[in-house]
Structure 1
Amino acid sequence: MYPILQKVDSPADIKKLAIDELNLLAVDIREALFNRLTKIGGHCGPNFGSVEAEIALHFVFNSPQDKFVFDVSHQSYAHKMITGRKLGYIDDSKFQEDSGYTNPEESEHDLFNVGHTSTSISLATGLAKARDLAHKKENVIAFIGDGSLSGGEALEALNYAGSELRSNFIVIVNDNEMSIAENHGAIYKNLEILRESNGNAGLNFFKALGFDYLYEPNGNDIQSLIQTFQKVKDIDHPVVVHIHTLKGKGYPFAEKNKEAWHWCAPFDRASGKPTVDWGDGESYESITANYLLEKAQKDPKLLVITPAMPASVGLSPAIRQALGSQ
């Protein structure tokens, strides 16, 4: 099992691999994800979709000298395997040794213990400013999903970094066309315009904020990503690298139902069904959803307001459709 991943104990090891071996490494990493997620659950869709990007990042850049900051940590599992923590995914007895989030106590390749959204660009901006004050030259890379991009802290950091930094700063925007649920707002409309124009649209949110900009449509192709990342390595000004990926890539259930598979309980790989018996009783989610539906039906003036993870209160796509304009 895991013939290529077994050879990888640090980022230096993947730099020795040919492109066909890197592609096989991606297969191994997904198998390792299946091993962990089917047994103890975790963040599925974000990690399956970003395997190739993290392999390419570690192939091109030199962690921990170059600094990677992952937003929320929901997509950091491949990075953790590459940086010496693969046993937390391939050895069932070691599952509890890996937190599921970036964690400096686990590895020098993790800069922050992160579990909240929209923080990576702000944290990376601080690292870049500290590097400049110390007269150092390493790359600083913030990796952020499109779902985190509209958060206030991310916007505040973009506002500062694009106009004030005059040095190396790389923002990887992992665009899989999803937050946890569907995207809303002007930023996502601009991402769509940029995708449809292959990055050439005149209306470009990132350029308006002072960033240089590159678009990579093949965000799940390692060779394309390596070529793109090589273009921005050691760059002397802020740049956004916009990559288009498929959330849940490699698992058809997760590709088809992206919202439900953002996070998963332990499951059977063949059927996609949970292997945890929750019993036949009501859940907090179903109680909340049924209560809101009942109230909405009785009161047409009732509006339901939820953050961008509506399933956490039972508001599945079907329930949201039933609520309609409410």
Structure 2
Amino acid sequence: MSHPLLTRIDSPADIKRLSRAELKQLAVELRDHLLQSVARTGGHLSSNLGTVELTIALHYVFDTPNDRLVWDVGHQTYPHKILTGRRDRMPTLRQLGGMSGFPRRDESEYDTFGTAHSSTSISAALGMAIGAQLRGEARKAVAIIGDGAMTAGMAFEALNNAGMPHQGRLADVLVVLNDNDMSISPPVGALNRYLARLMSGRFYAAAREGAKQVLRNAPPLFELAKKLEEHAKGLVVPATIFEEFGLNYVGPIDGHDLDSLIPTLENLRDRGGPQFLHVVTKKGYGYKLAEADPIAYHGPGKFDPAVGLAKVVPAVPAKPSFTQVFGQWLCDMAAHDTRLVAITPAMREGSGMVEFEQRYPGRYFDVGIAEQHAVTFAAGLACEGLKPVVAIYSTFLQRAYDQLIHDVAIQNLPVVFALDRAGIVGADGATHMGAFDIAFVRCIPNMSLLAPADENECRQALSAAYEQNHPVAVRYPRGTGAGVAVGTDLQTLPWGKGEVRRQSGAPSGARIAVLAFGTLLYPALQAAEGFDGTVANMRFIKPLDTELLAELACTHDALVTVEEGCVMGGAGSAVAEALAQAGVQVPLLMLGLSDQFIEHGDPAKLLALQGLDAAGIERQVRARFGGFLASASTGGTAANVKVLRG
């Protein structure tokens, strides 16, 4: 399909020159371009197909980037990116050095706020609206938030604040609820279109305010009129809760109907104060396969749009992912212990809990995008003698840090945290990297933290965590591991114990021990072949196996720690602290993620850039201890080691 209109759009100013009929054709071309692009690169598809018309209407009506658009959660912004001068960058989407899959302030002036975790848009847009007000600048701020993101408490905290005047003036902020979990039949859609345009217009607002002023002189009539208005609106719109927050509610309207969207947005643009527009869209709209299965097409890899996501049966059975290992363990442990309950903050598929929900629906709890609530909810369940397992991405646990400390750890409640996506996750970029959980979990009293090296150890680590009577987190990466066969029993790892997986045969003066935490054990074993090092699979970050550490420190001339987490405050820091506490002085090299936010790209390439593949580990060991190793190989003396230790 050719795209004669779309190729003329390099900025929103070009959209404003189009007729209404041309805007509709632009939507057709934009949707096709989006589908073809994502099919070649992979990325978020269903959500973006659903926001094509809404994106066109927003840029047509508002003066962007002077007027601020804040997209929440951010995975619905591909049409926005295409229409704001980044059409030619779509082939680089989510690739190393390419365009981000989320809004980024450093990528475009049209990306007014970086959003990749949900439910932040209303707070940010309100801040921008108040900021413009304080600076005496005339601009609008618009938050576009999905219905899933509205389940988080932060969104309602912002709504509560939006309805409060600052210095006697209400903020000019518009909240657009992109509701893609329901549909409107044509008759209701037509009626809602009419009512939305009426209620958003100046005539309705002026008439309503004028009537209020007249009726205030007759309180009984005023109250009667107010109740009649609320009742009438309640018949066609779920307005009450938002109007109680002080926002003028309009909708719901069809989010794929430009003839409805544009005049309604124009009316709301021209009104002052906080406004709320309820727009109904359909995930995957315009691509029948995605409409039929929006979850499967939420974030697909590369595929042929003409065929869809083909069900390929591999000749050799694929290795199970860590997520799948967790999902199977969860079902098996639930069969063994009726106290087990499982909680997810809206990540059923991503966390591998589909089968658990099917088998144990009464013990499965999806609390929506509400990480704080998920953790405290688990604490409440634990207080009643249940054994909660919270399946949560490493990066999302950050959002519930207060609850982790105050509601779980201080009370020493037996909650298991299954931290998926620990370490580098790839295409989603800095906002989704699980870089910090080691540092922020291990410093909390009563908490333990495990880092299994492979799939079977992951199952055993989860069983060991479940046996404890205090909070425990088990971190594991996205994707597959070394391909180790996974047992079917509920055997546990020996608590707090690591193991030596390779023993160095190097002479005295050149013995180096690598302490590997998590799945980097395997590249560490490969790297150690190059310098004949000892390799320990530590498995436990907290409690650290101090006996094994002391033994390695006493029998080796240098130590190296390797972890897929930030070096600052990480597992290497735990080793350094333990050595210092014991009064042991030995050269220590700490390898992990550097002090920077790691951008999107292929995980293997990102690991290599961080020096955490086998070649990178060996290179860094030789760079630090090269003279050390060379001296020992040529018969160097112990004095060389003593100098290094100094």
**TM tier relative to shorter chain:** 0.7 to 0.9
Task: Verify the 8 A CA contact 1:195 1:217 in the aligned structure 2.
Answer: no
Aligned residue number for residue 236 of structure 2 = 198
2: CA distance, partners of 1:13 / 1:246: 27
The residue aligned with 1:164 is: 165
Q: Give the whole-Å Cα distance in 2 for the aligned partners of 1:296 and 1:75.
A: 36
- The answer as to whether partners of 1:211 and 1:238 remain within 8 angstroms in 2 is yes
Distance 2:313 2:271 in 1: 52
C-alpha contact (below 8 Å) 2:70/2:125 kept by paired residues: yes
Q: Could you tell me how far 1:265 is from its partner in structure 2?
A: 1.8
Mapped contact 2:53–2:256 kept (Cα < 8 A) = yes
* 3-state SS of 2:362 partner: coil
The CA deviation at 1:261 is 2.4
CA 1:40–1:319 in structure 2 vs 1: closer, same or farther (change >3 Å)? farther
Q: Note the alpha carbon deviations across 1:42-70, whole angstroms, 9 max, x for none.
A: 11111111110010011111101111001
C-alpha contact 2:121 2:143 (8 A) present in aligned 1: yes
SS in 2 for 1:171: strand
Identity of aligned residues (%): 38
Note closer, same or farther for the CA distance 1:274–1:288 as it changes in structure 2 (3 Å cut).
farther
Number of matched residues? 306
Aligned counterpart, 1:26: 27
- Which residue is 2:129 aligned to? 128
| SS of aligned partner of 1:207 | helix
1:322 aligns with 2:359: yes
Aligned partner of residue 343 in structure 2, secondary structure:
coil
Partner of 1:309: 347
Higher relative contact order (CA 8 A, sep 6+): 1
1:288 matched to 2:326: yes
CA distance in structure 1 between the aligned counterparts of 2:143 and 2:100, rounded to whole angstroms: 20
Kept after mapping to 2: 8 A contact 1:145/1:175? yes
Q: TM-score, normalised by structure 2?
A: 0.45
Deviation at 1:300, TM superposition (A): 2.1
CA shift, 1:216, in A, is 3.7
Instruction: Provide closer, same or farther for how the CA distance between residues 141 and 310 of structure 1 changes in structure 2, counting only shifts above 3 A.
Output: same
CA distance 1:198–1:42, shift in 2 (3 Å): farther
Q: Report if aligned partners of 1:71, 1:117 keep a CA contact under 8 Å in 2.
A: yes
Using the TM superposition, give the Cα deviation of residue 277 of structure 1 relative to its aligned residue in structure 2, in angstroms: 9.4
Name the counterpart of 1:13. 14
Q: C-alpha separation between the residues in 1 aligned to 2:247 and 2:282? A: 25
Closer/same/farther in 2, CA of residues 93 and 108 from structure 1, 3 Å limit: closer
- Corresponding residue for residue 74 of structure 1: 75
Distance in 1 separating the partners of 2:32 and 2:311: 18
- Looking at structure 1, the residues matched to 345 and 43 of structure 2 have their Cα atoms a distance apart, in angstroms, of 21
Structure 1 pair 110–276 and aligned structure 2 pair: CA distance change class (3 A): farther
Q: Which moved more, 1:28-37 or 1:132-141?
A: 28-37
After TM superposition, where is structure 1 displaced by more than 4 Å over at least 4 residues in a row? 93-96, 194-197, 274-279
Q: Which residue of 1 aligns with 2:303?
A: 267
Instruction: State how far apart, in whole Å, the 1-side matches of 2:293 and 2:360 are.
Output: 20
1:231 matched to 2:235? The reply is: no
Partners in 1 of 2:113 and 2:302 — Cα distance?
A: 27
- Once the two structures are TM-superposed, the CA of residue 253 in structure 1 deviates from its matched residue by 2.2
**TM-score w.r.t. structure 1 length?**
0.87
Matched position secondary structure for 1:138? coil
Query: What amino acid sits opposite 1:321 in the alignment?
Result: Q
**RMSD across aligned positions (CA):** 2.3
Q: Structure 2 matches for 1:88-167, cutoff 5 A?
A: 88-89=89-90, 92=91, 96=95, 97-164=98-165, 166-167=170-171
Q: Does 1:175 align with 2:176?
A: no
Distance (whole Å) between structure 1 residues aligned to residue 119 and residue 233 of structure 2: 22
Q: Which runs of 5+ in 1 are unaligned?
A: 179-193
Please say if residues 212 and 239 of structure 1, whose CA atoms lie closer than 8 Å, have aligned partners that are also in contact: yes
Instruction: Name which of structure 1's ranges 56-65 and 34-43 shifts more when overlaid on structure 2.
Output: 34-43
How many Å separate the matches in 2 of 1:208 and 1:94? 41
- Cα distance change of structure 1 residues 284 and 271 upon mapping to structure 2, 3 Å threshold: farther
Rounded Cα–Cα distance in structure 2 between residues aligned with 1:116 and 1:277: 34
For residue 218 of structure 1, what is the aligned residue in structure 2?
254
Q: Check whether the contact 1:42–1:264 (CA below 8 A) recurs between aligned residues.
A: yes
Q: Deviations over 1:89-135 (max 9, x none)?
A: 3xx36875321111122211111222111010001111011111011
Deviations 1:182-218 (A, max 9, x none): xxxxxxxxxxxx999432x5x6211011101110421
Measured in 2, the distance between the counterparts of 1:286 and 1:196 equals 45
Q: What is the CA-CA distance between 1:272 and the residue it aligns to?
A: 2.2
Unpaired stretches in structure 2, ≥5 consecutive residues: 183-231, 364-646
Q: Distance in 2 between matches of 1:93 and 1:140?
A: 29
Q: Does the 8 Å CA contact 1:168/1:238 hold for their aligned counterparts?
A: yes
Taking a change above 3 Å as real, the CA distance of residues 295 and 271 of structure 1, as seen in their structure-2 partners, is farther
1:13 deviation in Å?
A: 0.4
Q: In structure 2, what is the Cα distance between the partners aligned to 1:45 and 1:164?
A: 38
Inter-CA distance 225–272: structure 2 relative to 1 (3 Å threshold): same
Distance 1:241 1:64 in 2: 20
The residue that corresponds to 1:46 in the other structure is 47
My pick for the range that moved more, 2-11 or 253-262, is 253-262
User: Structure 1 residues 261, 133: closer, same or farther in 2, change over 3 A?
Assistant: same
For the structure 1 residues 2 and 95, does the alpha-carbon distance in structure 2 shift closer, same or farther, using more than 3 Å as the test? Answer: farther
The whole-number CA distance in structure 1 between the counterparts of 2:161 and 2:310 is 44
Contact 1:139 1:168 in 2 (8 A): yes
Q: Aligned partners of 2:21, 2:46: CA distance in 1, in Å?
A: 24
Which moves more between the two structures, 45-54 or 291-300? 291-300
CA contact (8 A) 1:46 1:262 kept: yes
Does the 8 Å CA contact 1:118/1:148 hold for their aligned counterparts?
Answer: yes
State the distance in 1 between where 2:165 and 2:308 align.
47
Contact 2:248–2:275 (Cα < 8 Å) also in 1: yes
Give the secondary-structure state (helix, strand or coil) at the position aligned to 2:178: strand
- Are residues 1:255 and 2:256 paired? no
Q: Is the 8 Å Cα contact of residues 129 and 172 (structure 2) preserved in structure 1?
A: yes
1:219-241 CA distances to partner (integer Å, 9 max, x unpaired)?
Answer: 11112100110110132110100
Q: Matched residues in 2 for 1:276 and 1:14: separation?
A: 41
